[in-house]
């Protein structure tokens, strides 16, 4: 034992040290530290302790002294040591952040880790740690597009109202075209996927022409009507409208949601709209095609069928699109509202009112509304007078029962805010975005 150091182990400390040695889950460094103290307490010399534990003399002396100062707890933790290099000062960190937020002095659009490390004289890992701590990522950027439509709020409210609260006895269609779909054939056949290897596909291709897909998504049941055409002018758009006119029952009013493509607003299309008074066009705001629900279907088509497809001809591409259209779409799920209370004798359903959804008095009678209003050219802040069709639909919505649409489960996160009062709620149509609205 080192001179000047005497170890006395109490019964409680010995029991604790023996438990540490006997536990199979104890870290090994704690085991040999406890053995050093136990062997020393058994009057073994330093050389014998070194031979039994395989540690050096300075190591044995260190942990003997640590036990005398801090007891058993001192053996189970390590002392903090100064870092090998001093930490970066706050001034240098602030300098890195300041330079990162400014454009680089050399010919580049943004800073890289190596360029910043050379500019400030730090390691690239240090620069990366500073960027990570301050939430900086110069190599990344985020695209955006703001609509400059002065009637953005009115158009948004109108289209969302069609999705959330569609008119009675009407069909709501989300119409758009996906142009320039290329029929691409790979220059060499690829290999299929197998365990441990991805499927392969050549980076170059042979182009066999393009086609345009006109599609109309029925937002009530999720069905899609599509036509492949060679071009996407107003002539093809009118042909597609005629196909929709034949496919939709004649006793239904039609509300079509469109973007601001020029072919949708030509004089020929306006004259077609005059000849078909049951049709009403609702245009999305400028630079807001994301509001059109059919864009989600186009994204699904591109991701699941077109992007990794191999098409030997234009006919092969059109046949693949038609097969994709013919596949049954997932059945839409109706929104289920939660009941607030339930007594033992009978169920009492609260009356639910949607907050933030405009009533349906914005939709006039398609048969009497002028073509300009059915094209979406409505003065800002003014709503069309409610026609007989909308009035009858609102009356039916206020009178129909909806017990079968209610569930004790709470509404999902992000659902509209609802005010609850009164007796039982009323149903608003049979659609997946149905909401229950109180009568005015």
Query: Domain 152-326: which CATH class?
Result: alpha beta
Task: Count the alpha carbons within 13 Å of 84 in the hemisphere toward its beta carbon.
Answer: 0
Burial of 428 (C-beta count, 10 Å sphere; 0-12/13-18/19+)? buried
The answer to whether the beta carbons of residues 101 and 131 sit under 8 Å apart is no
Whole-number Å distance between alpha carbons of 214 and 247: 15
Q: Which residues contact 314 (CB under 8 A, 6 or more apart)?
A: 183, 208, 209, 210, 211
Write out pLDDT tens, residues 56-105. Answer: 989 988 888 888 888 888 888 888 777 777 888 999 999 999 999 999 99
H or E element at residue 158: helix 152-164
Residue where the block lists tokens 């730090």: 122
**Two tokens, residue 180:** 């320039």
Query: 377-405: per-residue pLDDT in tens?
Result: 433 333 333 344 443 444 333 333 333 33
What residues contact residue 99 under an 8 Å CB cut-off, 6+ apart? Answer: 111, 116, 119, 120
Query: What does the angle CA 8 – CA 12 – CA 17 come to, to the nearest 5 degrees?
Result: 80
Check residue 412 and give its pLDDT.
44
Distance CA 398, CA 393 (A): 9
**pTM of this structure:** 0.59
Are the C-beta atoms of residues 203 and 190 closer than 8 Å to each other? no
**pLDDT number for residue 4:** 59
* Regions in the chain scoring below 50 on pLDDT: 340-369, 372, 377-440
The pLDDT value given to residue 409: 40
Beta carbons within 10 angstroms of residue 171's beta carbon: 21
Q: Count Cβ atoms below 10 Å from residue 253 Cβ, excluding itself.
A: 23
The span from the CA of 14 to the CA of 35, in Å, is 10
């Amino acid at each position: 034992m080192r001179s000047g150091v005497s170890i006395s182990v109490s019964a409680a400390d010995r029991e604790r040290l023996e438990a540490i040695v006997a536990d199979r889950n104890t870290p090994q460094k704690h085991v040999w530290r406890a053995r050093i103290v136990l062997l020393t307490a058994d009057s073994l010399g330093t050389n014998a302790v070194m031979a039994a534990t395989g540690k050096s003399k300075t190591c044995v002396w260190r942990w003997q002294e640590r036990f005398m100062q801090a007891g058993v707890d001192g053996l189970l933790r390590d002392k903090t040591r100064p870092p090998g290099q001093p930490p970066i000062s706050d001034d240098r960190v602030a300098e890195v952040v300041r330079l990162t937020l400014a454009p680089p002095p050399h010919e580049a659009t943004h800073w890289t880790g190596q360029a910043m490390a050379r500019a400030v004289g730090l390691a690239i890992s240090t620069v990366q740690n500073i960027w990570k701590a301050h939430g900086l990522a110069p190599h990344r950027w985020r695209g955006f597009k703001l609509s400059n439509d002065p009637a953005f709020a009115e158009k948004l409210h109108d289209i969302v109202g069609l999705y959330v609260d569609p008119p009675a006895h009407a069909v709501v269609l989300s119409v758009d075209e996906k142009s320039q779909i290329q029929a691409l054939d790979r220059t060499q056949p690829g290999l299929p996927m197998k365990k441990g290897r991805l499927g392969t596909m050549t980076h170059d291709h042979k182009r066999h022409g393009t086609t345009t897909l006109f599609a109309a998504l029925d937002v009530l049941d999720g069905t899609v009507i599509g036509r492949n055409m060679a071009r996407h002018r107003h002539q093809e758009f009118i042909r597609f409208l005629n196909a929709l006119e034949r496919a939709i029952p004649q006793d239904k009013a039609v509300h079509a949601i469109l973007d601001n493509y020029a072919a949708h607003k030509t004089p020929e299309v306006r004259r077609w709209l005059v000849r078909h008074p049951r049709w009403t066009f609702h245009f999305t705001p400028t630079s807001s095609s994301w509001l059109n629900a059919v864009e989600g279907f186009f994204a699904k088509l591109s991701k699941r069928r077109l992007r990794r497809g191999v098409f030997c001809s234009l006919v092969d591409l059109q046949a693949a699109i038609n097969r994709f259209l013919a596949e049954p779409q997932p059945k839409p799920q109706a929104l289920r509202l939660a009941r607030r209370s339930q007594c033992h004798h009978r169920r009492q359903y609260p009356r639910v009112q949607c907050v933030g959804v405009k009533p349906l008095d914005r939709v006039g009678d398609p048969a009497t509304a002028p073509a300009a209003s059915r094209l979406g050219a409505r003065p800002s802040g003014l709503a069309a007078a409610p026609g007989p069709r909308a009035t009858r639909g609102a009356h039916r919505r206020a009178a129909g029962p909806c017990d079968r649409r209610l569930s004790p489960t709470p509404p999902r996160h992000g659902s509209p805010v609802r005010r609850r009062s009164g007796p039982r709620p009323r149903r608003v149509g049979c659609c997946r975005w149905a909401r229950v609205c109180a009568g005015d």
